[in-house]
Amino acid sequence: MTVAACFCGSGKPYAQCCGRFMETVEGVEAAPTAEALMRSRYSAYVLRHEVYLLSTWHKSTRPASLQLDHAAATQWLGLDVKRHIVNAADNDSAIVEFVARFKIGGMLGKRAERMHEVSHFIREQGRWFYVNDEHP
């Protein structure tokens, strides 16, 4: 029996990694760190799991929809987490810097593109939420 590796690149099986956070809208369990949430959100983009992405997006910046059905042509190729820093003053805000690789359109011969991002997260009532990002 082959166990599928998680999309986020952790090397763990999907069900024991990001999958455990996405089983339901509420999640079987909350992501314990901003990095774990960011990784699970990457996996959700791979799976086009819009409900999970919106439920983990902070209400102050959450869009009404993501229209991921239009993003079907995006092929996610990999994730590299560069750093995860929790604000020592409050332990309830953090940043995660990462590079995600992808192709659009699935055209043969098209080179992969890179998205370099620093995402900002906040923890409220024990749950981490994505707030916004910046591109260094």
pLDDT tens sequence across 3-50: 689 999 999 999 899 999 987 555 568 999 999 999 999 999 999 999
CATH for 14-134, among 3.40.190.10, 3.10.450.50, 3.40.630.30, 1.10.10.10?
A: 3.10.450.50
**Domain residue extents for the chain:** 14-134
Most confidently predicted of 22-26, 105-109, 111-115: 111-115
Which pLDDT does position 104 carry in this prediction? 80
Which pLDDT does position 74 carry in this prediction? 84
Quick one: which of 120, 128, 116, 98 has its CA closest to 30?
128
pTM, entire model: 0.90
**pLDDT at residue 107 is higher than 60:** no
Question: Residue 86's beta-bridge partner residues?
Answer: 94
Helices then strands, each counted (H, E), the chain:
3, 4
